[in-house]
Amino acid sequence: MKIVKHTITVIMKIAVLLVIVVTQCGYTYVTETYTVTGSDTLQSIAERFITKNTGTVREIREFKEGIRELNFDVIGNGDVRAGETLKITYWEAD
């Protein structure tokens, strides 16, 4: 259990350092909210928003799962439903 806690702590510290480095290199971390419409799927939303992710290179599969993880309390393991409000994050080059 101690090893797991230590590993998580190290990962969190690395993540914070990466955020600091990236923000100092001319990138902005953006958070948007999006309300799902009737024709939306998690895939179509990811495809729409990944084009705004100009600060880093991300694969669509990873970007989609990032949206799911950030909104797990709303969508769980299923797909999105009309009317749900999602948080979507990405890096934008300044």
Question: Does some domain include residue 21?
Answer: no
Predicted local confidence at residue 8, as pLDDT? 79
- pTM (two decimals): 0.72
**Above 70 in pLDDT, residue 81?**
yes
**55-72 as b/e, with b when 16 or more CB fall inside 10 Å?**
beeeeeeebbebbbeebe
Domain CATH number, residue 72: 3.10.290
**Above 90 in pLDDT, residue 16?**
no
Q: Please give the structure tokens belonging to residue 92.
A: 């934008």
Per-residue model confidence as pLDDT tens digits over 23-80: 556 788 899 999 999 999 999 999 999 999 998 888 999 999 999 999 999 999 889 9
User: Per-residue pLDDT averaged across 14-23, rounded?
Assistant: 65
Question: Does some domain include residue 50?
Answer: yes
Question: Does some domain include residue 36?
Answer: yes
Question: Does some domain include residue 3?
Answer: no
Structural domain boundaries enclosing 77:
28-93
DSSP string, 34-94: EE--TT--HHHHHHHHHTT--SS---HHHHHHHHHHHTHHHHTTS---TT-EEEEEEEEE-
83: buried, middle or exposed (CB in 10 Å: 19+, 13-18, 0-12)? Answer: exposed
Total domains present in the chain:
1
Question: Does some domain include residue 77?
Answer: yes
